[in-house]
């Protein structure tokens, strides 16, 4: 990590700027709240960077994992998700001990592409209630929930929320075409928040966030529920392994001379997923988009991913009141 610290620190700062609205948004979408997304990005991001098998991987909450967590939250509640994350972490470390990481090379590319496209569609549908500014209807079937949100909007339209969500999406897409190195996701969210506050718009904010991470605790663990949570934990562990190893492979392909250790990567992700629930975080994986940003901005070692986690930790402790004012519609536009 001492070879090019200045370049790594700059890359970590850039990734943190990109990761902040994503961590908040995926935390809200998972059902555990924005604070869970931030806790995951800080705790899992730091541990996976230290103990994982890739020098360039950036880990945290992801869209694919959010999609899997929504029905788990609906059926088992918050404590069920935290328990599932802990169990999945143990499974990932077991896979690492069995040296199962090399099996990733046998997954066909079209399967991965189809999986990614399906995840994108589900994430888009999950954002419909927030983008329309209506309370999220009950249910875990995203198409049904989105349709109910549209019906609610038709009866009580909230054009402010729609305007914020569309404006954020337009700024992100248009800005990326003109200046691809600028983190327009954060620019758009900051602009939307300022406009909402100055103009006193009717836009629901994220709400109060704790000023710091909670003390680690196993109070959520219910040994009697472990049997019923086994199947969801297997699904979460499989997804975490698949997405993390895919992301690490993408990072290798974008560089020269970098090659990740798949079994060590599973070990690092397992350790991260054991720790994140202790702080109220959701299950984490390697994040392909954030890892790609890390590589493109010149990262050369684990210092960049560690810097990203440290900057997000500073935001958690020092800027929670400001972050709490971000409109949910703006995060919906980002996602």
pLDDT digit string, tens, across residues 195-253: 998 888 878 888 777 778 888 999 888 888 899 999 999 999 999 998 899 889 888 88
- Token readout for 134 is 């209506």
Residue 5 predicted with pLDDT over 80: yes
Over range 156-169, report the average pLDDT.
93
Return the domain boundaries, the chain: 5-155+208-328
pLDDT of residue 31: 84
Residues 179 and 167: their CA atoms lie apart, in Å, by: 17
* pLDDT the model gives residue 202: 77
**Which alpha helices (DSSP H) does 58-141 contain, by range?**
63-97, 109-126, 128-132
In whole angstroms, give the CA distance from residue 149 to residue 308: 35
Q: Note the pLDDT of residue 192.
A: 92
């Amino acid at each position: 990590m001492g070879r090019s610290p200045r370049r790594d620190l700059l890359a970590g700062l850039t990734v943190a700027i990109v990761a902040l609205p994503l961590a908040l948004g995926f935390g809200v979408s998972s059902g555990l709240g924005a604070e869970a997304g931030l806790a995951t990005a800080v705790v899992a991001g730091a541990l996976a960077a230290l103990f994982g098998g890739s020098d360039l991987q950036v880990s945290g909450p992801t869209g694919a994992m959010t999609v899997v967590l929504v029905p788990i939250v609906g059926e088992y509640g918050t404590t069920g998700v935290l328990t599932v994350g802990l169990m999945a972490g143990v499974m990932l470390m077991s896979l690492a001990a069995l040296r199962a990481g090399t099996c990733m090379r046998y997954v066909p590319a079209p399967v991965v592409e189809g999986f990614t496209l399906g995840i994108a569609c589900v994430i888009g549908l999950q954002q419909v209630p927030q983008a329309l500014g209506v309370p999220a209807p009950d249910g875990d079937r995203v198409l049904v929930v989105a349709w109910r949100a549209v019906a609610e909007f038709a009866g009580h339209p909230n054009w402010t929320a729609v305007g914020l969500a569309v404006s954020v999406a337009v700024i992100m897409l248009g800005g990326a075409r003109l200046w691809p190195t600028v983190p327009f996701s954060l620019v758009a969210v900051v602009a939307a928040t300022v406009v909402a506050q100055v103009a006193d718009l009717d836009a629901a904010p994220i709400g109060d966030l704790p000023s710091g991470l909670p003390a680690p605790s196993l109070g959520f663990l219910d040994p009697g529920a472990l049997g019923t949570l086994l199947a969801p934990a297997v699904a979460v562990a499989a997804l975490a392994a698949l997405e993390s190893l895919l992301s690490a492979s993408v990072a290798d392909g974008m560089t020269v001379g970098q090659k990740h250790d798949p079994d060590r990567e599973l070990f690092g992700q397992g350790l991260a997923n054991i720790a994140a629930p202790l702080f109220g975080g959701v299950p984490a994986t390697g994040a392909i988009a954030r890892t790609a940003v890390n590589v493109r901005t010149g990262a050369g070692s684990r210092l960049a991913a560690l810097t990203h986690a440290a900057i997000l930790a500073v935001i958690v402790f020092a800027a929670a009141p400001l972050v709490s004012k971000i409109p949910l519609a703006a995060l919906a536009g980002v996602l």
